[in-house]
Structure formats: structure tokens, C-alpha cells
């Protein structure tokens, strides 16, 4: 199969992982960063906008303390302290490679989960780009608790691409693309130059990272590609250790794997609900309710609910599954509920007009409004 061309783009997010920033586990290095910086500089010279998402703060902090080796097995407080030490070193390292103003942007999952903070981050990045500044984004490990961690910079880069309204996500890694199996374990693994849709079969191909220094792996790269392509953002995975690959990318060639954006992207709000809001529980509906949601654009009514799982509250995001399935293919939607789990257990299976007969507080005659619900493919 011939390699596809890089789609036209105006604004890109470029993600650089720890394996490239600190390839020998001894702190920041320019070994692999010079070609990446050259790609960014040349892209900006042609009038394109770039946002950089960079790992490496913890590795820089370890090196500053004279410690070597991967930053795995660290507690949250240890990572917070090392990130606080390493963040200014990481920024200084990148600034040496650019002759433009660079701005540090630190985000936590809370900034992405809360819609108001999501919009604030979006506005900040937009203003930095208007000022011809290069935003350099990282997760704010110095304050992030386990509950508020994105957890890996692949998915963080996808969130940044969405909030920045980018049209391209470039994931620079130490592998040269997606393979049908792990090439480190299977010599017969074949590389894929193009992925039209991210399916369960694609996820079955990938496994955990082979490098201890990385917090991601191929699975998180596919997750990031799914988040980006769902919002209409083409995503490419390239080998950032090969300068020729970055140069080819600058010429519009595709040396790695291209994940193509979907034809009908999710709206900004529905993408946020599906990918940014944490799932607090689930409900199971009957076949009739499932058909109404899938084909009629209906709101979810209590009459179609047959089971409830979890202790969620009103306003939480919950998954909707259809009865009769025991695997992930039963998931059909995700939405924001108007009723908590305890109240739902009292009204499940009842007609909407009977809600007020059971509950003193009946805020709506539906459980999830169609505007607060996003369908997902099973």
C-alpha cells in the first residue's frame, strides 16, 4: 500500500514523549529534539500554527538530583516534587531550540473535565497563538492528584488538539507507526500506513509500552487518535528518533501511520461529554428504548430502564447499555443524568407522568435529554 500524503493543515499539536526528551533516562537531551524543533520552526515560517505538548519534567527533575533511570514506581508526592524541580529545566531546554517566545501551559484533568475551565484553557492558548507565541503544554504534575491526572501526554495532546481546534495531531514516538502486532515480539508484524477507523480490532493489535520510562504506550496513542479523529482532527504517528521522518513530514509526506478523521465529527459539547467527563455509573435499557435513542433522536425516559449500576448523582455522566449483552459492545450512549441512582431505582420502568407520584423532587420527565446524550458505536 502506498503511503498517503499528509492532509493539509493550518494548526497542529505536536506531542513529544519522554523517550525522545530523555532517551537515556539521564535528563533532557537534544539528541532527538533538533529535527522536531526544525519541523516546528519551518511550519511556523510557512504561516502555520503549532502547539507543543512535551513530556520530560520528571526525568529532568531526576537528573537534577543526580538520579538516573526511569521515573516509574514513584508515588504521587515524589512525582509532584520532581515535576516542580524539572518543569523550569524542561522549559529552558526547549527555549534554547527556538528563537520565538515560548509560554508554559500546565493543565490537569480538572481543567478538561470542567467546561468553564476547558473554555478558559482554550482562550489562553488562542491568545498565545495570536501573539505569535509557541505554547508548550504539559500536565501539571506538581498539583495533580491521582483522581485529577490525565495520566499520559498522548491523551493530553488529544485534549489540547480539541480545545485548540487544531486540524492535525502529530504524535512523535520512538516507533515508526502502528503495527498489526508488537514488532518487538512478533517479527511478522506489518506496519499500517493508514487507519480509516479506530475499531476494536485496532485496539486488539496494541499493548503496553516496551519502555519503562514512558507512561503511555501504543494503546494510549490509539486512544489519543480516537479522541482527536472523533472531533475531526487527522492524527499521525511518526518516529521522532529519525530526523528524516520529521523532514518528510514537513514536505507533506507521511512516513508513519495516518489515522484519518471521521466524516461526521462530534460537536464540541458532545465530544467533551464522551471523552472528558468521567463516567460515574451505568444504566441498562431495553431494546425499545435503545432503538428510540439510536434511530429516533429521543430522550431517555424512565420507562425503558431495566437496571442501574453505581452510586452516581444528578448531573453526573453515565453510560447507557442495552440489555442482553455481556461485553463492551452493549454500550450505546453516554449522557448527563437528571436523576441520581437512588431516585432512578424508584422510578425505573415507570411512565414519565408517574415520576411525581413517587418522588417529591421531579426536575424532569426524562432521565437524559437528547441534547445531553451522545451515541457511541458498539
| Domain C-terminal end among 270, 286, 303 | 270
- Are both 174 and 46 inside the same structural domain? yes
Ordered alpha helix ranges (H), 331-374: 341-347, 355-358
Please report whether residue 2 resides in a domain: no
Question: Poorest-confidence range of 18-27, 89-98, 139-148, 344-353?
Answer: 139-148
239 Cα distance to chain centroid: 20
Q: What is the pLDDT of residue 212?
A: 35
- Are both 205 and 350 inside the same structural domain? no
Which pLDDT tens digit goes with each residue over 289-318?
999 999 999 999 999 999 999 999 999 999
Average pLDDT of the chain to the nearest whole number: 88
- Are both 296 and 358 inside the same structural domain? yes
Q: What is the pLDDT of residue 225?
A: 96
Question: Poorest-confidence range of 69-73, 130-134, 200-204, 367-371?
Answer: 69-73
The contacts of residue 266 (CB under 8 Å, 6+ apart) are 230, 231, 274, 374
Q: What is the pLDDT of residue 215?
A: 46
Q: Any idea what the CATH number is for the domain that residue 298 is in?
A: 2.30.130.10
- Are both 36 and 114 inside the same structural domain? yes
The contacts of residue 130 (CB under 8 Å, 6+ apart) are none
Percentage of the residues of the chain whose pLDDT score is greater than 90: 62
Look at residues 42, 48, 55, 90 and name the one whose alpha carbon lies nearest to residue 173: 55
Q: What is the pLDDT of residue 70?
A: 58
- Are both 190 and 336 inside the same structural domain? no
- Are both 163 and 142 inside the same structural domain? yes
- Are both 197 and 260 inside the same structural domain? yes
Please report whether residue 1 resides in a domain: no
pTM of the entire predicted model: 0.85
Residue owning grid cell 518487538? 184
Nearest 5°: CA angle at 41, between 223 and 156?
Answer: 20
Which pLDDT tens digit goes with each residue over 61-116?
888 888 866 556 778 788 888 889 999 999 999 999 999 999 999 998 888 888 88
| Domain C-terminal end among 212, 242, 270 | 270
Please report whether residue 209 resides in a domain: yes
- Cell numbers at residue 264, please? 461526521
Sign of the CA dihedral with 132 first, then 133, 134, and 138 last: negative
Q: Any idea what the CATH number is for the domain that residue 239 is in?
A: 3.40.1160.10
Q: What is the pLDDT of residue 148?
A: 40
- Are both 368 and 225 inside the same structural domain? no
- Are both 81 and 151 inside the same structural domain? yes
Give the separation between CA 58 and CA 287, rounded to whole angstroms.
49
Please report whether residue 262 resides in a domain: yes
- Are both 18 and 152 inside the same structural domain? yes
Give the separation between CA 108 and CA 104, rounded to whole angstroms.
14
| Domain C-terminal end among 270, 300, 324 | 270
Give the separation between CA 293 and CA 261, rounded to whole angstroms.
25
- The domain total for the chain is 2
Percentage of the residues of the chain whose pLDDT score is greater than 70: 90
Which pLDDT tens digit goes with each residue over 251-297?
999 999 999 999 999 998 899 899 988 899 999 999 999 999 999 99
Please report whether residue 5 resides in a domain: no
Which CA distances in Å does 141 have to 27, 87, 94, 99, 214? Answer: 17, 9, 18, 27, 15
Please report whether residue 37 resides in a domain: yes
Q: Is the pLDDT of residue 184 over 50?
A: yes
- Are both 59 and 117 inside the same structural domain? yes
Please report whether residue 318 resides in a domain: yes
Q: What is the band of 145 on the pLDDT scale with cuts at 50, 70, 90?
A: low
Q: What is the pLDDT of residue 109?
A: 81
Look at residues 368, 290, 369, 301 and name the one whose alpha carbon lies nearest to residue 332: 290
Domain membership of residue 80 as a residue range? 11-270
- Are both 303 and 186 inside the same structural domain? no
Which pLDDT tens digit goes with each residue over 199-237?
888 988 885 443 333 445 788 899 999 999 999 999 999
Q: What is the band of 54 on the pLDDT scale with cuts at 50, 70, 90?
A: very high
Q: Is the pLDDT of residue 11 over 80?
A: yes
Q: What is the pLDDT of residue 151?
A: 57
Please report whether residue 4 resides in a domain: no
Q: What is the band of 4 on the pLDDT scale with cuts at 50, 70, 90?
A: confident
Amino acid at each position: 500500500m502506498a503511503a498517503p500524503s499528509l492532509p493539509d493543515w493550518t494548526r497542529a499539536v505536536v506531542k513529544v514523549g519522554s523517550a525522545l526528551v530523555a532517551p537515556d533516562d539521564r535528563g533532557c537531551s537534544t539528541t532527538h529534539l533538533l529535527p522536531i524543533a526544525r519541523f516546528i520552526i519551518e511550519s511556523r515560517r510557512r504561516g502555520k500554527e503549532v502547539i507543543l505538548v512535551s513530556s520530560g519534567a520528571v526525568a529532568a527533575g531526576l537528573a537534577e538530583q543526580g538520579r538516573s533511570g526511569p521515573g516509574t514506581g514513584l508515588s504521587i508526592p515524589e512525582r509532584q516534587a520532581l515535576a516542580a524541580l524539572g518543569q523550569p529545566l524542561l522549559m529552558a531546554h526547549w527555549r534554547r531550540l527556538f528563537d520565538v517566545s515560548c509560554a508554559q501551559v500546565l493543565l490537569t484533568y480538572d481543567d478538561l473535565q470542567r467546561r468553564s475551565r476547558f473554555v478558559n484553557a482554550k482562550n489562553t492558548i488562542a491568545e498565545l497563538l495570536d501573539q505569535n507565541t509557541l505554547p508548550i503544554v504539559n500536565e501539571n504534575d506538581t498539583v495533580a492528584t491521582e483522581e485529577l491526572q490525565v495520566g499520559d501526554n498522548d491523551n493530553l495532546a488529544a485534549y489540547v488538539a480539541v480545545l485548540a481546534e487544531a486540524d492535525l495531531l502529530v504524535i512523535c514516538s520512538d516507533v515508526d507507526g502502528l503495527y498489526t502486532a508488537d514488532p518487538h515480539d512478533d517479527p511478522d508484524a506489518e506496519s499500517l500506513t493508514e487507519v480509516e477507523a479506530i475499531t476494536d480490532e485496532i485496539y486488539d493489535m496494541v499493548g503496553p509500552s516496551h519502555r519503562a520510562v514512558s507512561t503511555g504506550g501504543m494503546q494510549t496513542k490509539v486512544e489519543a487518535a480516537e479522541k482527536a479523529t472523533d472531533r475531526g482532527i487527522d492524527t499521525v504517528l511518526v518516529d521522532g528518533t529519525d530526523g528524516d521522518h520529521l523532514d518528510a513530514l514537513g514536505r507533506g509526506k507521511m512516513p508513519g501511520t495516518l489515522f484519518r478523521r471521521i466524516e461526521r465529527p462530534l460537536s464540541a459539547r458532545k465530544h467533551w461529554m464522551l471523552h472528558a467527563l468521567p463516567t460515574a455509573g451505568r444504566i441498562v435499557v431495553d431494546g425499545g428504548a435503545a432503538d428510540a435513542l439510536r434511530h429516533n433522536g429521543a430522550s431517555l425516559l424512565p420507562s425503558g430502564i431495566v437496571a442501574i449500576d453505581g452510586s452516581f448523582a444528578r448531573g453526573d455522566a453515565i453510560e447507557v447499555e442495552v440489555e442482553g449483552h455481556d461485553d463492551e459492545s452493549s454500550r450505546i450512549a453516554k449522557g448527563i443524568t437528571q436523576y441520581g441512582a437512588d431516585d432512578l431505582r424508584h422510578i425505573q420502568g415507570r411512565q414519565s407522568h408517574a415520576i411525581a407520584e413517587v418522588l417529591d423532587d421531579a426536575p424532569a420527565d426524562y432521565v437524559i435529554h437528547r441534547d445531553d446524550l451522545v451515541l457511541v458505536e458498539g
